[in-house]
Amino acid sequence: MKRTIGFLTVFLVLIVSISACTSVANDQTLTAKNAGKIIEMNIGDTFSVELEGNPSTGYTWEVADMDIAVLKQVGETEFKTRSDLVGASGILILRFETIGRGETTLNLVYHRPWEEDIPPEEIFEVSVVVK
């Protein structure tokens, strides 16, 4: 009986440890520091990209290019302000999920969507490899 309880305890600790490791790797946050890097992930992983911005000026971060067989954007772009002041800048957050094996470049642009003939103010690119 003691041996069975000891085995079950070790088994449960092992399961909890494995679950904790999986969730840490599954929800990465990328920032401007990750620009130009290669990010390796597994199918079903999620990640967010958090970049400086100020939507009150009309500018926003949007997906310019990615392979939709490898990645999909989850939800709408979110904005987290740094202050309660009207017009304050903050962080724009875009969330993604890996949905297929392969490699794609995630290309985000910071621009005013209605200004079609004007180059973006900033570009953010990362290579995403999904195993």
pLDDT digits (tens, 9 = 90+) for 59-104: 999 999 999 999 999 999 999 988 777 788 899 999 999 999 999 9
The structure's pTM equals 0.77
Pairwise CA distance, residues 130 & 117, whole Å: 34
Pairwise CA distance, residues 35 & 2, whole Å: 54
Domains of the chain, residue spans = 27-130
Q: Count Cβ atoms within 10 A of the Cβ of residue 92 and give its class: 0-12 exposed, 13-18 middle, 19 or more buried.
A: buried
Contacts of 29 (CB under 8 A, 6+ apart): 47, 48, 49, 50
Q: Which residue matches tokens 């297929």?
A: 100
CATH class, 27-130 region = mainly beta
